[in-house]
Structure 1
Amino acid sequence: MWQINLEQYLPLNPYKNYLQMRLTDTKQARYSMLLICEGTHTEPNFLELMIEDFKEAGIIDFATTIKPKPTISPSDNTLDLNRGKEKRRKRLLKNTTQKQQEIENMDFFPGEQPLNWVKGGIDNLKVYDEVWVFFDKDGHPKAKEAFEMARITEIDGKKINIAFSSRCFEYYLLLHFELIYRAFEKSECNGKTYSQGGKKSKTISYYCMTDRAVEGKACNGDVCINGYARKNNYWKNSKGDLSTYTFVKEKIWTGVYNAHLIRWKSNTLHQNEYYERNPYVDVDKFVCRLMGYSTINFEESYEVTDDKINYCITREYNTITLTLLNTKTLILSQGNITAHDYNTRDYRGINIHAILTEDNPIFSINLKEIITPNEFCVISILSKKYYCPLFPLQTIIWH
């Protein structure tokens, strides 16, 4: 029998060293995913290039549809997205074309935001196998109703997934560069001018932290995320010609790790609904899902049925507890738990194994005993992979 040792491939780098072996059958080939975005620039174009990259690396092989449609087209320039290895065509975003302007003026899902996007996703649950909706905390009037509808609605066993950013998607981008818990007020310093007696408005930029900054209007990086990013030389423009994915491509796991810690801190400090908070982000859940992982969040439990085995996985601070829920046997073999250093991208196996039965249905894992603050833990249970980092109180400096 032909065999391959997958441990020789490093799962921390999905672009060079991550090999996923999949059986291609007709059911998998038909799998499809719909992504509905609030924005017409940043989110669609980020997702388009990231998904294209993951598909080229063999990480995902199913069909994806993004609405509104990204406007990414090839140019004659080259951009080394693999840092010196493989040259490929640069993807430019034609945000000023007539096509892009038509997209901006098109109302794909009419109604009150963000409820309209969730309703649009629900309408497509019979068409697509999986639907995600991406939107920000932006003073939307129907945020509560949107999250409630997503929670209670199920069609053919499928539910809407929401990837939420507060204050905005740029905050998730920022977490790829530093761990910062800060309530920014906006993505960019800007204002509005009015014409036709106030009937028509136009957004104007104050060019925060550029040589064109409007004195008295630009915040110098104190209020807006793009200004803060420019101040620290992270990026120049999140709504420019290049997909923002190019800024963070080599920092994907840093962004996932930091977003998870931000969510933990938010859950620790606040009891109100997370769509009311600032900051808060869970876009990392979608990124992990694309790479084949489910995130295990603080003080949450997940009931899973896999290969007729029913179990619950629960996260309490730095403890993961597995509970068998039926009369089957759940085996956690040696090698099913690995530790991954998200900085060096090294990984190592953890010498833990367990057998859960009807008589002994509970097994707990202390993350402090098996991983360090620079690592995260991956628990492979049957066909599921769970991502969970340590919560190092004493080692984190919160800005």
Structure 2
Amino acid sequence: MSRKLKNNIVIVCEGTETEYHYLKELKSIVEERQPERFSDIRIIPTPEELNVCVKRNQVTQKRSLKGSSKAGRYYTQEEELLEDYERYKQQPTRYVREAQLYLADGSYAEAWAVYDFDNFPDHANARALADEDEHLHIAFSSVSFEEWLLLHFELNRTAFQKSVCKEAKKDIRCGTGKHANDCKGSTCVGGRLRAQNFLPDYDKCGDNLFTTLESRLEHARIGSAWTRTLHPAADIWLQNPYTDFDRLVNHLLGYPIDYKWVACGEIISTVLTQVSVDNGNLFNVGGCLFVLDVTVYDKQFNNIESNIIRILPGEFCHFDKGDYISFSQNGESVVIVPLHS
């Protein structure tokens, strides 16, 4: 079937907890503020769809024990061939595959799969499948979606082990001091959010997370780009911390420019010249005048000041305060550079 020209998007999540609630809220905000942006934003699975899926799979499993050759189903999509279901049923590939099926049947023009590391066995195949279609994307967080939430507040290098610590499959609410095994945010990201009083009442099924954190969204966008520079040689699913969830948020809200981290001393090309940053200095190492709007941040990425900087070739501008600066690179991205190594 040929793809219909639609301005719509389907987002397949691995469940109905934090990501689902966050995206459901964001969907409502996009529809309210930019009603013309998408003709439809569908987030899968709803709690009802998940419940139906669980019951259906239980029935299917019983049938398979009796030798049934009926093809398997995902949350809402079904494979025509049993061999295809066997090929794609592993997590997280099944989420990418379901998103792909919505593109294949022409229902949606764009599809995303949203999932975490979760010790899933099939990350490499999920990535390979997503690469087959330019309209199919992944929004991934490691170790969990809570990494994205934490980046609204700090750049934390801890390789957390889980989203929240649990006992008998129930969140023990680390960071509140109410459980003997409280990790105080050393093991789980949820504990860090609570222990540092960033989100003291954090709950995986809580509402209004986007609205609560919107004033700090720029921090999270900057921080997400930062996580992608920490272990660039490793496969994405083995990097921790890591998230590219910001790319989905940027797309839904229509932000045309992304953030990009550059190391101290690295040459940065702009429209007319080249610059580098080191030891608190912004050097013009190219052959033309450097004129850019530069923003200075402190360690917590609070905006200290913004100025139009003009630097002749071979000269530099010294920043006596701040820890990071940012400026636009050719109108395509915002470069973030530490002022000191």
Per the normalisation by structure 1, the TM-score is: 0.59
CA contact (8 A) 1:40 1:104 kept: no
2:178 equivalent in structure 1: 212
Q: Which AA in structure 2 matches 1:132? A: W
Change (3 A) 1:343 1:211: closer
1:319 equivalent in structure 2: 268
2:42 equivalent in structure 1: 65
**Among the aligned pairs, what percent are the same residue?**
25
1:277 equivalent in structure 2: 239
**Are 1:227 and 2:227 counterparts?**
no
2:231 equivalent in structure 1: 266
**Are 1:117 and 2:95 counterparts?**
yes
Q: Which residue of 362, 370, 377 maps to 2:328?
A: 377
**Are 1:173 and 2:149 counterparts?**
yes
CA contact (8 A) 2:160 2:240 kept: yes
Matches of 2:185 and 2:234 in 1, distance apart?
A: 28
Change (3 A) 1:292 1:221: closer
Change (3 A) 1:317 1:147: farther
Deviation at 1:114, TM superposition (A): 0.5
Deviation at 1:224, TM superposition (A): 0.7
Matches of 1:163 and 1:372 in 2, distance apart?
A: 29
Structure 2 unaligned spans of 5+: 56-73, 78-84, 273-290, 312-316
CA contact (8 A) 1:338 1:378 kept: no
Deviation at 1:237, TM superposition (A): 2.1
CA contact (8 A) 2:12 2:45 kept: yes
Q: Which residue of 18, 21, 37 maps to 2:13?
A: 37
CA contact (8 A) 1:337 1:378 kept: no
Deviation at 1:105, TM superposition (A): 3.5
1:390 equivalent in structure 2: 336
Matches of 1:131 and 1:346 in 2, distance apart?
A: 39
Deviation at 1:124, TM superposition (A): 1.4
- Pairwise CA RMSD: 3.7
CA contact (8 A) 1:167 1:183 kept: yes
Deviation at 1:345, TM superposition (A): 10
CA contact (8 A) 2:323 2:340 kept: no
Q: Which AA in structure 2 matches 1:391? A: V
Structure 1 unaligned spans of 5+: 1-26, 72-98, 193-202, 300-315, 324-335, 353-367, 381-385
Q: Which residue of 112, 115, 130 maps to 1:150?
A: 130
Per the normalisation by structure 2, the TM-score is: 0.68
Matches of 2:51 and 2:94 in 1, distance apart?
A: 20
Matches of 2:249 and 2:304 in 1, distance apart?
A: 17
Change (3 A) 1:59 1:101: closer
Q: Greater helix percent: which structure?
A: 2
Change (3 A) 1:187 1:286: same
2:118 equivalent in structure 1: 138
Residue by residue over 1:298-342, the C-alpha shift from the partner in whole angstroms, topping out at 9 and shown as x without a partner, is 69xxxxxxxxxxxxxxxx95524679xxxxxxxxxxxx9765677
Q: Which AA in structure 2 matches 1:233? A: N
Deviation at 1:163, TM superposition (A): 0.9
Change (3 A) 1:387 1:179: same
**Are 1:292 and 2:278 counterparts?**
no
CA contact (8 A) 2:271 2:329 kept: no
Q: Could you say what secondary structure the match of 2:206 adopts?
A: coil
CA contact (8 A) 1:339 1:378 kept: no
CA contact (8 A) 2:93 2:123 kept: yes
Aligned residues: 275
Deviation at 1:255, TM superposition (A): 0.3
**Are 1:184 and 2:146 counterparts?**
no
CA contact (8 A) 1:257 1:389 kept: no
Change (3 A) 1:340 1:61: farther
Deviation at 1:223, TM superposition (A): 0.3
2:54 equivalent in structure 1: 105
Residue by residue over 1:164-219, the C-alpha shift from the partner in whole angstroms, topping out at 9 and shown as x without a partner, is 10000001100001111110000111134xxxxxxxxxx13333222531x1x331
CA contact (8 A) 1:68 1:103 kept: no
